[in-house]
Structure 1
Amino acid sequence: MLSTIAERRSIRKYKNIPIPRPFIEEILQAGILAPSSKNRQPWKFTVVSGDSKSVMLKAMEQGLDRESRSPLLPGCRQYLGGARNTLEIMRQAPVTIFITNPLGLNLSEPLTEEDRIFEICNAQSVGAAIENMTLAAAGLGLGSLWICDIFFALEELQAWLNPQGTLFAALSLGYPEEAPSARPRKPFSDVVEWRV
């Protein structure tokens, strides 16, 4: 298993080859099998491909255009170019899975300490589901890209998806057209502290 983790890469170039539905279902099942805080399983998956893909891309593009004029995330303006690049990656990938948290709270309202902990626990759970999905994709010979740039188009994508809850992330999938090298990792000794 450690070799699959070590060899997994974030893929940003995809071949124009459809993914067999059983592969997508296996990836989704891997997400569903993730551990979750209090077994809440705070996830819902929306698989976008085919004709729906162009509508999704249009919503993303409208969000990026709106963000350049009237930003929801003004402190992240320097990342807008990267988000436009992500849109092109989503255009290439044959499948994008949107992950929503049906238990998500409205983050524009003040949170109590208990709400904040609830959100952190659910975020950890959804993160585990997405990581399981990226590893399942790698095991099937597929590439994936875990996408958070969707938050630049949050209003538009939420309106299009109409989810119950909060849009959390997206995961693009496809057969890789590239084989990037591993990105550097911090040294083991810098991130691990032993207390015995």
Structure 2
Amino acid sequence: MIEAIKARRSIRHFLPTPHSKEQLEEIVRAGMAAPSAKNLQPWHFVVTEGKAKERVCAAMEVGIERERHFPMLPDTRHYLDGAFETLRVMREAAALILITSPIARPLSATMTLDQRVTEICTAQSVGAAIENMCLQATALGIGSLWICDSFFAQAELRAEAGGDSELYALLALGYAAEEPAARPRRTLSETAEWRTE
């Protein structure tokens, strides 16, 4: 697995080559195998291809355009151009997986401290599932892009996913049309510290 960890890249250019349903199932099963707080498995995956994927892209575009005029996230408007680039990637991808959580509270919810802790645990669990899927895709020779720009179209994509779960992210999948180099990482000494007392 360390090979997949080292080889994983965020892919932003995909070939038009489709992959099999069996490969997509392997990727989703990897997500399902992730650890989760209290074993709640707080995730739901909506796998889209073809016309269903086109509807997801259309919902993303509607959300970005709405965000231009009626922003839900006014302090991050400067990232909207990046969201349009993400939309281009989504359209190139062979499949898009919407990752939702049926137990998550809406973004606008006011929470008690206990509820906030639960949300943090849910986010960690869902993040572990997404990383597992990225690594399984890499092991299968499939490229992936973990997408968080989806928050600009949160309401529209949540409705497209079924409306009962809060959207956490999208995962774009497809055979890579690029071979990006590894991006620089901070050194071990900059990132971690050891304490013995």
Residue of structure 2 equivalent to 1:139: 139
* 1:148-196 alpha-carbon deviations (Å, 9 max, x no partner): 0010011111122223221010100000000000011011001111011
Q: Which runs of 5+ in 2 are unaligned?
A: none
Q: Equivalent residue of 2:67, what SS?
A: helix
Separation in 1 of the partners of 2:9 and 2:109?
Answer: 36
Q: Equivalent residue of 2:61, what SS?
A: helix
Q: Equivalent residue of 2:12, what SS?
A: coil
Instruction: Say whether the 8 Å CA contact 2:158–2:165 is kept in structure 1.
Output: no
Letter in 2 for 1:88: R
Q: Equivalent residue of 2:173, what SS?
A: strand
Q: Equivalent residue of 2:78, what SS?
A: helix
Mapped pair 1:33 → 2:23: no
Separation in 2 of the partners of 1:104 and 1:55?
Answer: 24
* 1:119-151 alpha-carbon deviations (Å, 9 max, x no partner): 000100000000000000000000000000010
Separation in 1 of the partners of 2:80 and 2:87?
Answer: 11
Residue of structure 2 equivalent to 1:77: 77
Q: Equivalent residue of 2:151, what SS?
A: helix
Instruction: Say whether the 8 Å CA contact 1:100–1:163 is kept in structure 2.
Output: no
The offset of 1:4, in angstroms, is 1.4
Residue of structure 2 equivalent to 1:5: 5
Give the count of matched residue pairs: 196
* 1:72-127 alpha-carbon deviations (Å, 9 max, x no partner): 11000110000000000000001000000110012312111100100000100000
Identity of aligned residues (%): 51
Q: Equivalent residue of 1:195, what SS?
A: coil
Please list every run of at least 4 consecutive aligned residues from structure 1 whose deviation after the TM superposition is greater than 4 angstroms: none
Separation in 1 of the partners of 2:171 and 2:66?
Answer: 23
Instruction: Say whether the 8 Å CA contact 2:100–2:167 is kept in structure 1.
Output: yes
Residue of structure 2 equivalent to 1:100: 100
* 81 and 190 in structure 1: CA distance in 2 versus 1, 3 angstrom threshold: same
Instruction: Say whether the 8 Å CA contact 2:36–2:42 is kept in structure 1.
Output: yes
TM-score by length of 2: 0.97
Mapped pair 1:127 → 2:114: no
Q: Where does 1:104-123 land on structure 2 (aligned, <5 Å)?
A: 104-123=104-123
Residue of structure 2 equivalent to 1:193: 193
Please give the root-mean-square deviation of Cα atoms over the aligned residues, in Å. Answer: 0.8
Q: Which runs of 5+ in 1 are unaligned?
A: none
TM-score by length of 1: 0.98
* 1:22-61 alpha-carbon deviations (Å, 9 max, x no partner): 0000000000000000000000000010111221111111
Separation in 2 of the partners of 1:183 and 1:70?
Answer: 35
Separation in 1 of the partners of 2:160 and 2:39?
Answer: 29
Q: Equivalent residue of 1:146, what SS?
A: strand
